[in-house]
Structure 1
Amino acid sequence: MELAYRPFSLALTTELETAAGPIAQREGFLVRIDGDGEYGVGEATPLPGWTESSVECERALERAAAVTADDEDEACRRLLAACEDAPAARHGVALALSDLRAKRDRVSLYRHLGGDERVDYVPVNATIGDGTPAETVDAAREAVEEGFRTLKLKVGARPLESDVERVRRVREAVGPDVELRADANGAWNRDEARDAVAAFADCDVALLEQPLPVDDLAGHAEVRDAGVEIGVDESVVERGIDAVLAADAADVVVLKPMALGGPDVACEVGAWALECDVTPIVTTTIDGVVARTGAVHVAASLPEGPACGLATGDLLASDLAPDPAPVIDGEIVVPGSNGLGVSGAWNE
């Protein structure tokens, strides 16, 4: 097996706010692994605050590119071990390996990842940004007109009363049949989170994501069972799924394959959550088409569940290749071809 990689930069349509500040483009590395006449592609796209830095990612990929082994299984083990402490780099390598193996086995990637039934579509949510009440309502109506049946509203950047007003007005505008979620990105303390849950329950909000800081798993457990399901996102990456489950901190866990270290890891975490009666939702870290399509396959490999956060391609002004997984009426297409299903990302 031989691994090669090369850098890329994709401009965003609007700046992305992160814990490390705003970013205007997503920069990462395409990964290619060749073996016995076939090749697989992966993507390593670090995100500040979620994964290693770009420099650390490239160093891990350099180590992986230097791996040699006569036995293929040993080569795979060494490739992944070279990226052990760099989740984005490991994601790129693991995705390329999975694509290669699925192509060899002549199955779609989600089948290779453990999916046992044919899946043509995965439901996805629309994400509504932090705007004024009027802007939020307009964006919600537009998303519903495009066919989305689940809307996720960004909250936590404004006073709680303002967020409650935004959510209330969206509920009035879209009616009772559209599922609403809210994502606070850890912005509140426990008192604010309790007040938010009570108010959002009155608005029939189905899910409140990461209301409290990453480390406050006990607080997340306290605000559960009050009319709104509680999800954790950042806590899964920072504290680990075992700590989240041991604390009884969530009804829902959000899985980002890039931040977790690969599609294989995301599938393992999702399966473990399901065994503990916790629902997994798969999302991206605003990745290019290679990683984004990989996340679609992760979602398709798990039992059908709630809408996932995979409709992020339109946040990029350019991409690495044509998108084989478009969003149609609130569902994203699952490529049925062998392997990942992305063509043209690595042009000779």
Structure 2
Amino acid sequence: MKIISIEAIPFAIPYVKPLRFASGEVHTASHVLVSVRTDDGIVGFAEAPARPFTYGETQESIVAAIETLFAPQITGMSVLDRESVHAVMDRTIGNPTAKSAVDMAIWDVIGKTLGQPVTALLGGFSDGMRVSHMLGFAEPAKMVAEAERMRDSYGITTFKVKVGRRPFGLDVAVCRALREDLGPDTELYVDGNRGWTPSESLRALNAMADLDLTLAEELCPADNVLGRKWLVERCPIPFVADESATNPGEVTRELLSGAANAVSIKTARTGFSHSQRVLFQCDGLGAEVVMGNQIDGQLGTLCTVTFGAAFQSTTRRAGELSNFLDMSDDLLADPLEIVDGRLAARQVPGIGIDIDPEKLAKYRLDVNN
């Protein structure tokens, strides 16, 4: 069970339509496929999405961190030495998605070695999750049409609405149009990606007070320390820390300082090992959690539902598991399917990732192409 190689393969797959939000927009899934191979021939996989506007990582930096820093130090270690692996990686500051992909690929190896699904090894609470769909910036009619399509085609009835535009009148109009069209049985929550000031955020929430929103995520920057705490004290619904809570220490800071009272868990940035720590912190402090989406492809989405289905706390809310539907293609040989608003965690050894070699050859960007 010793690691003999770690590979980082950059690839690019276009989106059918870009996802636009307050801190940026994404037109192409410029991600990195990470593989960990052991001396008994088992290979584990995971996906690292480059999000320079959120974490400062690029596709090139992820590949460099894994190939020049992590792989030389981790090769030769046992896949069971997860804490030692993290101790090695944590000598390097930052690089959350690179570290997380290595962590999840190692978990994939462990599951395959033991002949057990990773979701069972993590906790085994459920066989899947309800799905929430993220709606990016567009005119109200287009966002309503997308929500209707997701509801009618996949049974999705929970929507995360990207807001944070200035002035905020268009975002309020979008949320109102969605509520009027979808009715009271559809869950709506908003994500500002730090686009508003605290005072703008409160005005927008007051303007939407009759829409029965369930969460407000990162409406304003956490760096606005006093303003953020002022807003959270007045926010009538749970305020979710996302970009401001990218590791267990930041989660503690945001919750104990009063800058948030709920947390978005994203396996793309905390893997499985540190996502457990974040979840247990939230459980202990009584903070709600939601499984977030890093605009993942199917591979990353499968990792999210693998973790989210494993615990009771993470299944209470719908997970953000559907934005792979906006990609023109993917690397999985066995594509994911959302049925009746749910996505299943795969009950096979490991995570359930089977890479299509022809698709990988088509989309990879490195010199081996």
TM-score when normalising by structure 1? 0.89
Equivalences for residues 98-177 of structure 1 within 5 A: 98-113=107-122, 115-117=123-125, 119-146=126-153, 147-177=155-185
Q: CA deviation at 1:176?
A: 0.9
**In structure 2, which of residues 29, 32, 35 is the aligned counterpart of residue 32 of structure 1?**
35
Alignment partner of 1:316 is 2:327: yes
Q: CA deviation at 1:177?
A: 1.0
Alignment partner of 1:247 is 2:257: yes
Q: CA deviation at 1:39?
A: 2.2
Post-superposition Cα deviations, 1:152-183, rounded to whole Å, max 9, x if no partner, equal 11112242222222212221111111111111
Equivalences for residues 144-223 of structure 1 within 5 A: 144-146=151-153, 147-223=155-231
The residue number in structure 2 matching 1:330 is 341
| Alignment-mate amino acid for residue 205 of structure 2 | V
Q: CA deviation at 1:127?
A: 1.8
Q: CA deviation at 1:254?
A: 1.0
Q: How many Å separate the matches in 1 of 2:74 and 2:165?
A: 49
CA 1:31–1:142 in structure 2 vs 1: closer, same or farther (change >3 Å)?
closer
The residue number in structure 1 matching 2:363 is none
CA 1:325–1:216 in structure 2 vs 1: closer, same or farther (change >3 Å)?
farther
How many residue pairs get aligned? The number is 345
Q: What is the SS of the residue equivalent to 2:214?
A: strand
CA contact (8 A) 1:270 1:302 kept: no
**In structure 1, which of residues 43, 53, 68 is the aligned counterpart of residue 58 of structure 2?**
53
CA contact (8 A) 1:94 1:263 kept: yes
Q: How many Å separate the matches in 2 of 1:80 and 1:274?
A: 23
Q: CA deviation at 1:2?
A: 1.4
CA contact (8 A) 1:124 1:309 kept: yes
Structure 2 residues not aligned, in runs of 5+: 361-369
Q: What is the SS of the residue equivalent to 1:235?
A: coil
CA contact (8 A) 1:107 1:339 kept: yes
CA 1:219–1:144 in structure 2 vs 1: closer, same or farther (change >3 Å)?
farther
CA contact (8 A) 2:89 2:99 kept: yes
CA 1:184–1:21 in structure 2 vs 1: closer, same or farther (change >3 Å)?
closer
Q: What is the SS of the residue equivalent to 1:148?
A: coil
CA 1:226–1:73 in structure 2 vs 1: closer, same or farther (change >3 Å)?
closer
Q: CA deviation at 1:88?
A: 1.7
Structure 1 residues not aligned, in runs of 5+: none
CA 1:289–1:134 in structure 2 vs 1: closer, same or farther (change >3 Å)?
closer
Q: How many Å separate the matches in 1 of 2:76 and 2:136?
A: 51
Give aligned-pair identity as a percent.
26
